Structure 1
Amino acid sequence: MTPAAPFGPLEFQLVLLRRMADFQPGPAEDARRELGVSLADQREANRRWQRMLRSPRGRGALSRYRSVLGEPEQVVRRRIGDLECDALHWRLPLWPDLRFEVLAAPDSGAVWNEWLVRAPGAPAPELRTADDLRPWSCTVDEVAAAFPPARPMEGSAPTRWRLAFTLASGEERVAEFTWGLFQRMVPDS
């Protein structure tokens, strides 16, 4: 991988793995090897992504995703509360049962959210106890649906989310997600 090479889906997956490695270094390393990419190449992909994000002449977020990932596999108009948005979905080879979803304002294209979600028709994991929450096994919305009422919380970085929820036993827990994918239970939660 060279800096002159186009930045595409492979490089984007490396960016996602870079943040996931903060919590799950083993699986992230295994996934990087599965992609056949060196650690130096992953660092270069992350450096290029950060440069795209911070460029004063850079594209808007939605245009950036389209240029990196191509045309979305699916675009669906969605209503969230009183707001309508477009949900754009892209397939990523590392996570065949998931889609990278970008929620964008229908008129301006402003990006409201970007994360991994379950692919339409893909089976979701059965979540009944805290032990069912295994790294990379479920998404934010799946945990929220399995343990209502769930309360979203701010994460420790822009691509991280936390979700507070109560188990059937009454025990309160907090799950941490990166790019929408479950990483771990927050220690001492």
Structure 2
Amino acid sequence: MASEKRPAAPFTPLDFQLVLLRRMADHNPGPVEDARRELGASAARMREANSRWQAMLRSPRARSASARYRSVLGEPEAVLPRRIGDLECEALRWPLPLWPGLRFEVLLAADGTVWNAWLVRAPGAEGPVLRTVADLTPWSCTVDEAARAFAPARPLQGSAPTRWGLAFTAPGADGAPRAVTAEFTWGLLQRIAVAGDGPEPRPAAPS
């Protein structure tokens, strides 16, 4: 008799952090490898976690997005009312051990639709000091922080659902304004392109 298929292990908060890292590895493999080791997870587990998450998203029996996040991360640390223009929504926030100064935030519409899911600064946590291009290092800031520091910033279409972009002007090393394009994954800065430095976005040197 063929052996019965063993049930899959629960998808844990650790696995979810590996999902976030897997997408970030496209731009910053070094920091991702360091973070993966800090979590005590193998590269194979990171790939498996990402595959399982994608399967959960595509499953015809997929639960609602809100229920999916709650099943993986537990009850949110905070549920906050949020108004975006004329629309009202809820912001659900969870802590993640890998980024203690951040929270994973999901914005839910009244009908339960997820408008956004990304990392934001935790309440009371000290944010980065962003004054020049040199301060824009990988993982140093969130979308909102960069947009506020270098206002006015223009949002750009991301290359994937978990990616965002901003275009703005920031002082260079000589103090002269430079045109900057910043790319974010899950709301966290990954790399920048500075006008005159070449056509491709470049990861800034880690601080």
Q: In percent, how many aligned pairs have the same letter?
A: 71
Corresponding residue for 1:173? 180
- Aligned match of 1:23: 27
Root-mean-square deviation (CA), in Å?
1.3
TM-score (norm 2): 0.87
Q: Secondary structure at the match of 1:109?
A: coil
User: Pick from 115, 120, 145: which aligns with 2:118?
Assistant: 115
Structure 1: 5+ residue stretches without partners: none
- 1:3 touches 1:44 (CA, 8 Å); kept in 2? no
Q: CA deviation at 1:82?
A: 1.1
TM-score normalised per structure 1 = 0.95
Task: Summarize deviations over 1:62-119 as a string: whole Å, max 9, x none.
Answer: 11111111100000001111111101000000000000000001x3111000000000
Q: Which secondary structure does the structure 2 equivalent of 1:128 belong to?
A: coil
Q: How does 1:120-159 map to 2 (within 5 A)?
A: 120-159=123-162
- Give per-residue Cα distances to partners, 1:128-187, cap 9 Å, x unaligned: 001001101100000000000001111111101010111243321110000000001036
Structure 2: runs of 5+ lacking an equivalent: 1-5, 202-207
Q: In structure 1, how many angstroms separate the alpha carbons of the residues matched to 2:45 and 2:169?
A: 41
Number of residue-to-residue matches in the alignment = 187
Moved over 6 A (4+): none
CA distance 1:157–1:177, change in 2 (3 Å):
same
SS in 2 for 1:72: coil
Amino acid at match of 1:39: A
Q: Paired residue for 1:76?
A: 80
Three-state SS of the structure 1 residue aligned to 2:177 is: coil
CA positional deviation for 1:3: 6.7
Question: What is the aligned partner in structure 1 of residue 66 from structure 2?
Answer: 62
Give the greater-gyration-radius structure (CA): 2
Take 2:111 and 2:70, find their aligned partners in 1: how far apart are those partners? 15
